[in-house]
Amino acid sequence: MKTDDVKALIGALKQKKTGMYRKDFLLTWEKSRDELEATFLVAEALRLMRDAGISPRLWDSGIAVSNFRDNSTRTRFSYSSACDLLGLYVQDLDEGKSQIAHGETVRETANMISFLTEAIGIRDDMYLGEGDKYQREVGRSLDDGVAAGVLPDRPTIVNLQSDIDHPTQSMADLLHLAKHFGGLDKLKGKKLAMTWAYSPSYGKPLSVPQGIIGLASRFGMDVTLAHPEGYDLIPEVVELSKKQAKESGGSFSHVTSMDEAFKDADIVYPKSWAPFHVMQQRVPLLHSGDQAGLKELEKSCLANNARFTDWECTEEKMKLTKGGKALYMHCLPADITGVSCKAGEVAASVFDRYRDDTYREASWKPYIIAAMILLGKRKDPAATLEALLERGTPRTV
């Protein structure tokens, strides 16, 4: 029975030492191993409850603010789904229609949107060096509001993608891997190839590959990062991942060959991203609205990308993986050769074979986000889940 499975997850949750109450979820490497595992347990429990027809709503009223400063499909809908699952109404913060356009400060905005707000989801990944900084400024503003007695409670901030990390994506990815391989403990020693792949576009954030290596390295996996020379990630994140891999009993290698990365891999994650130095160059151009400068930068970057069209996840490269059957992963949307573009990250035949797997991968994101919110808003998450289970409110009549 699904309810028995939920009870088992709650029992495991009681064994985890967490300090997530009234804390934001910004970077996975700021969370302890117990806190990461607690998030997985809550996410799985919420999913099982919904599947069993039991409502996991914590609130009968309240707002969840959605602040997307960049375009999104999967994460935007995942956030809305997660908030609705918990009983919250989602309100978009459209900065173009707010007083932010007239110079309203971050402190003022953060307090004005938070009187009846339980969670704030923020996506800010376009400006290297600024997305994570902005999320933390919102957090400090909320702390000040609570301390001054202006706000009755502290909304929890969930990082829906910053310039540094994409924790809702990487956490969903890792839970997908745990389910695929039979448990978190089964991930130790598995080789994961996080590789750059060709795309006919430029300016894709660094936060997905950084999120993957920054999380997988916590669970004893053998992580291989691969990209052409010059397509570096933020150096501090790479160094942190190396350190974490050593501490967890895994390994970390950094190569410039896609074939080498794919060799004997259990999991492959071919994904395009813009070079670190390019993302640095974009920031002042974006701020100044220098369209000519941005066009010139794009032109030079696309020309450089074109040198590496062979960095594609093909059937031939998949044969290099362990038994030729590595699990293909992608955060979506993928650049599929001959489908969404002339040449891209992955061959159509490879993507088609793993299409359902990538959908299963994505399906965990709403539950991961809901778990992050619950853990930030409830001091005793196990007791909260027990109460929801005992209440047994049906989702449908």
Q: Mean of the pLDDT values across residues 91-95? A: 87
Using alpha carbons, select from 342, 353, 350, 340 the residue that is nearest to residue 320: 350
Q: How many residues does the chain have?
A: 397
Among 125-129, 160-164, 230-234, 387-391, the least confident range = 125-129
Domains of the chain: 2-165+365-391 (3.40.50.1370), 169-362 (3.40.50.1370)
Q: What is the pLDDT of residue 72?
A: 85
- Separation of alpha carbons 276 and 273, rounded Å: 9
Nearest to 75 by CA among 205, 225, 200, 270: 205
244 vs 255: CA distance, rounded Å:
18
pLDDT confidence of residue 306: 95
Give the whole-angstrom CA distance, residue 305 versus residue 231: 10
- Report the alpha-carbon distance of residue 271 to residue 269 in Å, rounded: 6
Among 375, 374, 364, 370, CA closest to 169: 364
The rounded distance, in Å, linking the Cα atoms of 334 and 323 is: 24
Question: Residue 27: in which H helix or E strand, if any?
Answer: none
Q: Which residues of 252-276 are buried (b: 16+ CB within 10 A; e: fewer)?
A: bebeeebeebbbebbbbbbbbbbbb
Indicate whether 103 pLDDT > 90: no
Q: Name the residue among 368, 384, 376, 367 with its Cα closest to residue 20.
A: 376
* Percent of the chain clearing pLDDT 70 (strictly above): 98
Residue 182 and residue 379: Cα distance in Å, rounded?
30
Q: Are residues 160 and 169 in contact, defined by beta-carbon separation less than 8 angstroms? A: no
* pLDDT tens per residue, range 340-379: 999 999 999 999 999 999 999 999 999 999 999 999 999 9
Q: Taking 60 as the threshold, does the pLDDT of residue 94 lie above it?
A: yes
Supply the pLDDT for residue 202: 86
pLDDT band of 101, cuts 50, 70, 90: low
Question: Which two tokens mark 312?
Answer: 């594609």
The residue-averaged pLDDT of 220-243 equals 98
Is pLDDT above 80 for 312?
yes
